[in-house]
Amino acid sequence: MSVTSLTRQESISLDEFRHGMRRLTAGVSLVTTEFQGEKLGLIATSVSSLAAEPPSLLVCVNRSATSHDAFVNAGHFAVNVLREQHDELCAQFSQSARRAERFQSGEWHTLNTGAPVLADALVSFDCQLEKVVEWNTHSVLLARIVGIALPGEAAEPMVYFNSGFHRLGN
């Protein structure tokens, strides 16, 4: 494998960063909460396990997201890992103009915290927010997992790569 450009530099441009990050494949999650009687959700690819003891994970949320403050103030959320067939649901939650319609598709229930859980997600983690770390444009939500839903058999996940949502190839 040859490297076309290998240079040491103090910082990189925003375009270089974005171009590089397009090559980082990530699972797609629908992160949901309920705050003051309203169900809210956003699509996230920056979700990661944090520790096994106690079971915990982290979610990065852009502070400019319209639902950012609700996620922080609610103190709980669910991370619903999407299956490859959830492309229409993913589009609904990605388009802010259709905010009122977001929870009309799919079957929803709750576990421990009251956050909406997608019944046919690959897996859903019900989380209690423990700490928020501000990092420039984003908030890193550190959460303890207090419930889990593993519906049915394992299936193919939806993935994000090269600025688009994809299915894993066979």
In tens, the pLDDT along 77-104 reads 999 999 888 888 888 888 765 666 789 8
Q: pLDDT band at residue 1, thresholds of 50, 70 and 90?
A: very low
Within 8 A by CB and 6+ apart from 111, the residues are: 78, 117, 124, 126, 146, 147, 148, 149
Q: Is 12 helix (H, G, I), strand (E, B) or coil?
A: coil
| CATH fold of the domain at 14-161 | Pnp Oxidase; Chain A (2.30.110)
Pairwise CA distance, residues 72 & 35, whole Å: 10
- Residues of the chain with pLDDT > 90, as a percent, come to 52
| φ and ψ of 65, to 5 deg | -65, 140
Task: Look up tokens 């169900």; give the residue.
Answer: 39
pTM: predicted TM-score of the whole model, two decimal places: 0.85
Lookup: tokens for 28: 């797609």
pLDDT digits 0-9 by tens, 47-56: 999 999 999 9
Q: pLDDT band at residue 23, thresholds of 50, 70 and 90?
A: low
